Amino acid sequence: MRAGRVLITGGTGSLGTHILATAERERWDTDFIVYSRDEAKQARLRERFPAVECVLGDIRDRGDLTRAMRGCDVVVHTAAYKRVPEAERQSKVCIDANVYGSLNVALAALANRVEHVVGISTDKACSPINTYGQSKALMERLWQSFARESRGTQFHLTRYGNVIASNGSVIPLWRKQASEGKPVTVTFPDMTRFWLTLDDAVDLIVASLDTPSGDILIPACPSSTMAVLAEAVAPGVEQTTIGSRGGERMHERLICEEEAPYTSGHRMGYLLGPLSSAVRDEMPDGWVLSSSTTKRLTSDRLRAVVDDLDAGTETRLLG
């Protein structure tokens, strides 16, 4: 991905923008195409990255996707509806984009003989209980199905937790509440979530290109309670509990008990093979990767990460 022609679906989002910033900083020999729906965001993106080609389009339109991918070596599929409550309220829209849109991405890549396609998944795809997680679980299965059938294009996946300070992050809300002298609103103080940074996320995407087609690269993400994160973002500010939103769990899992037999180690965490593949038997019986039991982050560590993000410096939680 550090060389060649790369198309990013949903490339005006926080992850796509950070891929472009990383490439600029590290001087990748890459020509980028950003494929997305929002013309205003594309205009702002071109101001920052004038060499990037922007194409207006929707992943639900296979014809436009196929034309945009001509000559591409790599496709990074970041476009998705990601907010759990909205996906619950408007399931059809979420499924159209996250499932059928992902199918279009895969078919367009095959039509253009793209060498590598990377799909971005989520911990909510592990034993999913909400529409968003279910849609991402189906995207994973689509990628693995095409990986079995394709003799050219390789389909890679990475599944991870919450990205600190990405679009939709709770951090701006908490800061606004604190600046107005209000308590910060926390779902449940003991609710846990996996965390990584945008630098971690880009590292995972690059690393996934070297994994077997159809495997899911899963990082060994640290976690924290929501109360600890809130203390890191708004130190000393009162916290008030508002309860969970529809479709949310108290604790997330990146690998469940049923997936453990198909899991092996990787330098960044784990590789999860298709459930139709051979058992790998590297993990002990009953093992899971849960935000309730993994390495915990302190408020001081999280505060340092948030400070680094504010300063625009590289920062990572993995490794």
pLDDT per position as a tens digit, 35-79: 999 999 999 999 999 999 999 999 999 999 999 999 999 999 999
Q: Look at residues 154, 160, 250, 257 and name the one whose alpha carbon lies nearest to residue 210.
A: 154
What is the per-residue pLDDT for 237? Answer: 96
CA dihedral 140, 143, 146, 151 (to 10 degrees): -140
Q: Which amino acid is at 219?
A: P
Would you state the structure tokens that stand for residue 314, as one six-digit string? 């590289």
Task: Note whether 96 and 183 are within 8 A (CB).
Answer: no
CA 259 to chain centre: 19
Find tokens 């599944």 and name the residue. 159
> In 3-state terms, what secondary structure has residue 220?
coil
Collapse the DSSP code of 202 into the 3-class scheme (helix H, G, I; strand E, B; otherwise coil) and give the result: helix
Q: Domain residue spans in the chain?
A: 3-311
The residue assigned the tokens 């591409």 is 72
The amino acid at residue 253 is R
Give catalytic residue positions.
Answer: 124
pLDDT at site 2: 84
**Confidence (pLDDT) at 166:** 83
Which pLDDT value is given to residue 169?
A: 82
What parts of the chain have a pLDDT lower than 70?
A: none
Structure tokens at 278: 């051979």
Would you call 192 helix, strand, or coil by DSSP?
strand
| Integer Cα distance of 215 and 307 in angstroms | 34
Residues in the chain: 319
Architecture of domain 3-311: 3-Layer(aba) Sandwich (3.40)
Query: Do 132 and 94 meet the contact criterion of CB atoms below 8 Å apart?
Result: yes
Nearest to 263 by CA among 293, 221, 219: 219
Report d(CA 153, CA 109) in Å as an integer: 7
DSSP string, 4-72: EEEEEETTTSHHHHHHHHHHHHHT-EEEEEEEES-HHHHHHHHHH-TTSEEEE--TT-HHHHHHHTTT-
Burial status of residue 144 (CB atoms within 10 A of its CB: 0-12, 13-18, 19 or more):
buried
The reported pLDDT for the residue numbered 247 is 84
